[in-house]
Amino acid sequence: MTTLVIAWRNIFRNRRRSALTLLAIVVGAVAVLLFGGFVTSILFGLQTNTVRAIGHLQVFRQGYFEFGAGKPGAYGIKDYARVLRLIRDDAALQPLIRVLTPTLQVFGIAGNFAENTSRTFYGRALIPSDRLRMWAWDGLGIGNTSLRQLAMSDDDRDGGVIGVGLARILHECAALKVLNCTDGPSEADVSPDLPAEDFSSLIEIDPPASSGAAVDRRPKIDLLAATVAGAPNVVTLQLNGVERQGAKELDDNYVLMHLDLGQRLLYGRGEHQVTGLVIQLHHSSDVAGARRELRRLFAAQGLDLDVRDYTELNPFYLQVIAMFGAIFGFLAVIMGVIVLFTVVNTMSMSVMERTAEIGTIRALGLRRSGVRRLFLAEGLVLGVLSASLGLLVGLGLSFLVNRAGLTWTPPTSVDPVPLRVMVAGNPLLLAGCWFGLVALSALSSLLPANKAARLEVVDALRHG
């Protein structure tokens, strides 16, 4: 305790130099905390958006994950209603699962033959109410700021939405009244000699509507795909609106439809199947346990099913984590080097100024280890004081940033989100920054402390 008291007094013997050292360490701490809080906010938001979109886990038929994109219908899950019941009735999975819903992936050609336009599409067929429930997930506590309305309902089995880019390509912007979207020139103007495309001969003939039936006047497009048997099939999608996607490639191909319409397109009059079962859990920490239980359940039932988590379904997620981890590590190393040289310089100057003093206390009987311990204690006290002050300043600045109402649009996102710096609720970041700075400051004083301990008593007393 006496050593710490003496060290506390010594660091303030040269107030200006100690203040500059404190300021350098505080600035480093604040920079690490604010950037670390910002990175945490980005990663939490990315995980939240990913889980809201595709769930924590998805169940596929074996082989679909590797080869299903080429022929999704061939890898459908037969009698999927039974599989859904097995999962819902499992005692171990019941408390973990928040949403369990079927989904269907469809690829084909979308056409608006009234305008003589067509485009390949990537379609997702699902149950609208389940998707709304998935959008409400907030397991990481970032808030429901990115929730959107879905222009679909469970009762509207023929309705759906498309990407803004696809609406532009198919000349549906005006009909759907999409802002900042203009229909392109017709194909007749670009290539007047090409015949008009018409899928109407492939559409399944429905019985004529009764005279009292209401006419659906919504904009529509036709979707062409090959059924499981290989025959072409076309259904009509009534357009309820658009849904802007974060990537242009997806926006130009995106179609979202009701599960029933997707099944009619892909399976026709055959047995309706799905390509996947989406599972959203209450907490992301339960992913590993739920996956093990699902595999155990499928093995016990003899089901040829595979389970994949959201990090496998979306490789971009892990790439973003690795990128920001590398950036944060690089910044932390730079700040650490600044702190290292600042403390070494400060302690070295202190040793030079107190050489005669060191000789005096050595002559009075203090051992080399005592001198070394004294300067190490000064570095430790300096680190504790600086790190604590840095944490307080970082917490204060993060509070101001979070209250400023700033927004930004992350990559692959279409809606601006609040700019948040998650420092206060991030104990790992706070503890890591504090202990790291204290340890670095103590280690930085080791070299000057050893230099002071090695001074010869006679030479030290002769100094100055």
Tokens standing for residue 69: 């994109």
Mean pLDDT of all residues in 22-30: 91
| The pLDDT value given to residue 193 | 59
Tokens standing for residue 56: 């924590």
| The pLDDT value given to residue 13 | 76
170 pLDDT exceeds 70? yes
326 pLDDT exceeds 70? yes
Length of the chain: 464
| The pLDDT value given to residue 199 | 54
Do 99 and 127 meet the contact criterion of CB atoms below 8 Å apart? Answer: no
Do 47 and 417 meet the contact criterion of CB atoms below 8 Å apart? Answer: no
**What pairs with residue 175 in β-bridges?**
none
With bands split at pLDDT 50, 70 and 90, how would you rate the model's confidence at 150? confident
Mean pLDDT of all residues in 27-56: 92
With bands split at pLDDT 50, 70 and 90, how would you rate the model's confidence at 453? confident
CA distance 173 to 221: 12
CA distance 275 to 120: 20
DSSP states of 409-464 as a string? --TT--S-EE-----TT-HHHHHHHHHHHHHHHHHHTHHHHHHHHT--HHHHHH--
CA angle 315, 316, 322 (to 5 degrees): 95
99-113, 138-152, 434-448: lowest mean pLDDT where?
138-152
Predicted confidence (pLDDT) per residue in 181-230, tens digit: 887 676 555 555 555 555 555 555 455 555 555 677 889 999 999 888 77
SS3 call for 372: helix
| The pLDDT value given to residue 362 | 74
Tokens standing for residue 357: 């003093």
**What pairs with residue 307 in β-bridges?**
59
Rg (CA), the chain: 33
With bands split at pLDDT 50, 70 and 90, how would you rate the model's confidence at 64? confident
In terms of pLDDT, which residue wins out, 147 or 441?
Answer: 441
Tokens standing for residue 288: 């590993």
363 pLDDT exceeds 90? no
Predicted confidence (pLDDT) per residue in 428-438, tens digit: 999 999 999 99
CA distance 127 to 160: 11
Do 77 and 273 meet the contact criterion of CB atoms below 8 Å apart? Answer: yes
| The pLDDT value given to residue 389 | 94
Between β-strands 159-162 and 232-242, what pairing exists: parallel, antiparallel or unpaired?
parallel
| The pLDDT value given to residue 429 | 94
Do 144 and 234 meet the contact criterion of CB atoms below 8 Å apart? Answer: no
Quote the percentage of the chain above a pLDDT of 90: 51
Tokens standing for residue 222: 């036709």
65-74, 98-107, 312-321, 431-440: lowest mean pLDDT where?
65-74
H or E segment to which residue 82 belongs: helix 80-89
| The pLDDT value given to residue 205 | 47
Work out the mean pLDDT of the chain and round it to a whole number.
86
Handedness of CA 131, 66, 107, 164 (dihedral sign): positive
Do 160 and 240 meet the contact criterion of CB atoms below 8 Å apart? Answer: yes
Mean pLDDT of all residues in 338-348: 87
143-152, 168-177, 253-262, 447-456: lowest mean pLDDT where?
143-152
Q: What's the maximum distance between 2 C-alpha atoms anywhere in the chain?
A: 116
Do 253 and 125 meet the contact criterion of CB atoms below 8 Å apart? Answer: no
| The pLDDT value given to residue 197 | 54
CA distance 126 to 105: 9
Residue written as tokens 């080869």?
67
